[in-house]
Chain A
Amino acid sequence: MRTPLARVRGLGSAKEGTDHFWRQRLTAVANLPLMLFLLYSLVAFAGADHAAVAAYLGSPPVAMAMLLAVLSAVIHMRLGMQVIIEDYIHGEALKITCLMLNTFTAAAAGLASVFAILKLGFGA
């Protein structure tokens, strides 16, 4: 905000500007209510049988909130792990491999979760 416009025109060496920082904050704020909702869900259904859990996760408001929770979480965790990798792994080949694996892992976890929630929501 105090940065002169001229200095951000080129968006820095990675040409991404504050995009990483901003998405980290955006998903952090989103995660606050969403993770409280997740925590509630886990605690409320800790010992419940499959039918109760499936009915809960499949109900539209819960399914939609859980979809948001998963999506916000995997974006946030991918950004966070990216910073950890960039901080500690200095070999270029290993670093790029880890960054790719990070994205693949986040995408796979996100897609699998979304598929599972939709399957429960559509009652298949």
Chain B
Amino acid sequence: MADAKSPAPRPLSPHLQIYAPMLTMMMSIVHRITGAILYVGTLGLAWWLIAAATGPGYYGFVQGVFGSALGKLVLVAYSWALIHHMLGGLRHLVWDTIHGFELPTVELMARLNLAGSLAATALLWGYLLIAGGA
């Protein structure tokens, strides 16, 4: 403690690059990444709400931005992140009750989470394309 500013080099525990990627591990990482995407998405939501409160002119501009090809891509990513993070959150709530820790269950929940978020996002945008909203 005498020389707190330059601690002796200590052994580091193995980090990400030493492990072979596993589904459950990737899902954990993706849960965090989708959370970060949603952080930015909430700023987008605030922008949209402000635009709606500002008036037709500015709303038209913001709608144009979100309606552009890049805007739609961002919205697809946002909607997937939201659904994926939501389903991932459900898994965490199950784990919070001290259930679902058996490896087959964990693996099954991970697969359902991923398949569910992809399917729901595809359905959502399929509907939007057919309904003409997108």
Contact = CB atoms under 8 A, between A and B. Distances in A.
**A, B co-complexed:** yes
Interface of A: 25, 28-29, 31-32, 35-36, 38-39, 42-43, 46-51, 53-54, 57, 66, 70, 73-74, 77, 80-81, 84, 105, 109-110, 112-113, 115-117, 119-120
Given A53-B59, A115-B53, A47 B45 contact: no
B128 interface: yes
A38 B50 CA distance: 15
Nearest to B53: A116
Interface stretch (B19-27, B31-39, B103-111): B31-39
A54 B89 CA distance: 31
Q: B interface, how many residues as a size bin?
A: 20 to 34
17 contacts: A32-B89, A35-B86, A39-B79, A46-B134, A50-B55, A50-B56, A54-B59, A70-B42, A70-B46, A77-B42, A80-B36, A112-B49, A115-B53, A116-B52, A117-B49, A119-B53, A120-B53
Contact of B93 (A28, A35, A43, A120): A28
B79 A120 contact: no
Interface of B: 32, 35-36, 38-39, 42-43, 45-46, 49-50, 52-53, 55-56, 59-60, 67, 79, 82-83, 86, 89-90, 92-93, 96, 124, 127-128, 131-134
